[in-house]
Amino acid sequence: MTKRFNTIDGETLMTMPLKPINFIIENLLSEGLHILAGSPKVGKSWLALWLSVAIAKGEEVWGNKVKEGTTLYLCFEDSQIRIQNRLFDITDEATDAVNFCTENAMLGGELEERIINFIKEHPDTVLIIIDTLQMIRNTSKDNNYANDYSELTILKNLADKYGIAILLIHHLRKEYDKDPFNRISGTTGIQGAVDSSFILVEDTRGSKVATLSCVGRDIDYREIKLKRDEDNIWQVVTDSFINKDVLLDDIVILLSDFMEDREYHKSTPTELAEELSKNRDDNISPK
């Protein structure tokens, strides 16, 4: 039997009625596999917890509508008492539509089966968060491009099959890079396997002000400036999706703050970049 590609021509494709992309968070998080990476203790888990609760309750996320449904937060680095204490901070009333599990399972082992069984028991599942990616990976395997891509494709296929979003919580490398997405720990196979990448970088350590950089197959590039309030909820300050000028304004804001108590300043670009980078989680490039 002759092997052929199963093709479709452009004219037919353009006239074919297809189901639109299913967004769990409008214009931000679609069905599929996604990664949220940030430095240790920057507040990734607080953000993940809040997202799991908000979506389960059908509440908007930073002004974006959500697809209400069951959520599962696999918080493998936390205990039930820690999750309980954090719930007391972020909400007055939780819902039985948000579920938690602190018992670890490995990718390529029991994890996939447990996810499938959970979805069968909760057919309205829309979001599963895995915190962290490293906790479900087999440390005996080489973390090369092929393995990174192959392992994450397992989760990608699950998300696509059941029409849900799976969000992986991950870490950043310490080394600075002008492109924040290059700081994702691991090979580029991780970015290649996911549908969207979200990078949370705090302006200065402990400031509780951070930028969430977002890029993906089904979303426009955007930067969301966030501030963690007294309840440890990340509130939106500015969003480049709404205010297009925000992408150009960050360096202007830095310079304005730097010159607030100065009438005059003279330095080389490198020296100025070093001054602006003090107490920041990243470095300002002199270029």
Residues 163/124, Cβ–Cβ less than 8 Å:
no
Residues 160/34, Cβ–Cβ less than 8 Å:
no
211 and 278 inside one domain: no
Q: What is the mean pLDDT of residues 13-32?
A: 96
Which pLDDT band, with edges at 50, 70 and 90, does 85 fall under? very high
Distances (CA, A) of 10 to 5, 15, 16, 36, 223: 15, 9, 10, 35, 34
255 and 227 inside one domain: no
266 versus 135: the higher-pLDDT residue is 135
The number of distinct structural domains making up the chain is: 2
Neighbours of 106 (CB within 10 A): 13
> Does some domain include residue 104?
yes
> Does some domain include residue 230?
yes
32 and 94 inside one domain: yes
257 and 224 inside one domain: no
Q: How far apart are CA 12 and CA 214, in angstroms?
A: 33
113 and 251 inside one domain: no
Q: Give the structural domain span for 251.
A: 245-287
Q: What is the mean pLDDT of residues 83-111?
A: 95
Helix, strand, coil % (nearest 5) of the chain? 35, 25, 45
> Does some domain include residue 14?
no
> Does some domain include residue 128?
yes
> Does some domain include residue 138?
yes
81 and 203 inside one domain: yes
Which pLDDT band, with edges at 50, 70 and 90, does 167 fall under? very high
213 versus 282: the higher-pLDDT residue is 213
> Does some domain include residue 189?
yes
* pLDDT of amino acid 177: 87
Q: What is the pLDDT of residues 122-141, one digit of tens each?
A: 999 999 999 999 999 987 67
Q: How far apart are CA 57 and CA 55, in angstroms?
A: 5
Q: Which of 135-149, 212-226, 245-259 has the lowest mean pLDDT?
A: 245-259
* pLDDT of amino acid 273: 75
Q: Which of 32-41, 120-129, 186-195, 252-261 has the lowest mean pLDDT?
A: 252-261
> Does some domain include residue 110?
yes
68 and 47 inside one domain: yes
Q: How far apart are CA 10 and CA 17, in angstroms?
A: 13
238 and 255 inside one domain: no
Counting beta carbons within 10 angstroms of the beta carbon of residue 214, is it exposed (0 to 12), middle (13 to 18) or buried (19 or more)? buried
| Domain final position from 211, 226, 242 | 242
Which stretches within 58-123 are classed as H helix? 80-90, 111-121
* pLDDT of amino acid 284: 63
* pLDDT of amino acid 274: 78
128 and 216 inside one domain: yes
Q: What is the mean pLDDT of residues 10-35?
A: 97
Q: How far apart are CA 207 and CA 280, in angstroms?
A: 9
81 and 209 inside one domain: yes
> Does some domain include residue 4?
no
Q: Which of 9-18, 93-102, 139-148, 158-167 has the lowest mean pLDDT?
A: 139-148
Please say if the pLDDT value at position 66 is more than 60: yes
Q: Which of 36-40, 89-93, 232-236, 245-249 has the lowest mean pLDDT?
A: 245-249
51 and 145 inside one domain: yes
How far from chain centre, in Å, is Cα 141? 25
160 and 252 inside one domain: no
Which pLDDT band, with edges at 50, 70 and 90, does 271 fall under? confident
Please say if the pLDDT value at position 248 is more than 60: no
